[in-house]
Structure 1
Amino acid sequence: MQPIEIYTTPYCGYCQAAKRLLNSKGAAFHEIDLAVEPSRRAEMTQRANGGRTVPQIFVGKTHVGGCDELYALERDGKLDALLAAA
């Protein structure tokens, strides 16, 4: 599996849902909590091409987007392939 990074905040329901889906897939991820590391918000925004909302999810070098985009990949049957791609 490629490395997965997810930018979150503690009380974000979408962040929780995205992490739940990744956990259900057995996908290990590195969580960047912006409440703990607020200085990383600018980094997130740059990596996400201006995206300012959380979660922002990256699989390897691919910017997935947020929770809705992650679930859309799952619905379309594309998430497993993305997670497994080398």
Structure 2
Amino acid sequence: MASVVIYTREFCGYCARAKSLLDSKGVDYVEHNATYSPELRQEMISKAKGRSTFPQIFINGEHVGGCDDIHALDRAGKLDTLLAA
């Protein structure tokens, strides 16, 4: 199973949708809640090459984007392949 890391913040509907998709696939992920942590937010922005919206998701160390991006990967049939790696 792939290593999945997701940067989130509280009260974020997009974060909830992304986590729900991962949960529905039985994926274990590491969640970094950056709501009250400017350091975590800066870490996320740096790893996501400037993207500052929440969530930002990484699979096996590769940035795959946010909520819309992960759902698009799922619709295209590519998410399961990434998660199986």
Q: TM-score, normalised by structure 1?
A: 0.95
Distance in 2 separating the partners of 1:59 and 1:36 = 24
- 1:20 matched to 2:20: yes
Corresponding residue number in structure 2 for 1:8: 8
TM-superposed CA distance for 1:62, in Å, is 1.3
TM-superposed CA distance for 1:37, in Å, is 3.0
Moved more, 13-22 or 59-68: 59-68
Distance in 2 separating the partners of 1:19 and 1:7 = 10
Distance in 2 separating the partners of 1:25 and 1:57 = 15
Gaps of at least 5 residues in structure 1 are none
Q: Report % sequence identity.
A: 52
TM-superposed CA distance for 1:36, in Å, is 4.1
Q: TM-score, normalised by structure 2?
A: 0.96
Provide the secondary structure at the position in 1 that maps to 2:77: coil
Moved more, 63-72 or 34-43: 34-43
Q: Which runs of 4+ in 1 moved over 2 A?
A: none
TM-superposed CA distance for 1:34, in Å, is 0.5
Distance in 2 separating the partners of 1:6 and 1:19 = 8
Distance in 2 separating the partners of 1:73 and 1:10 = 24
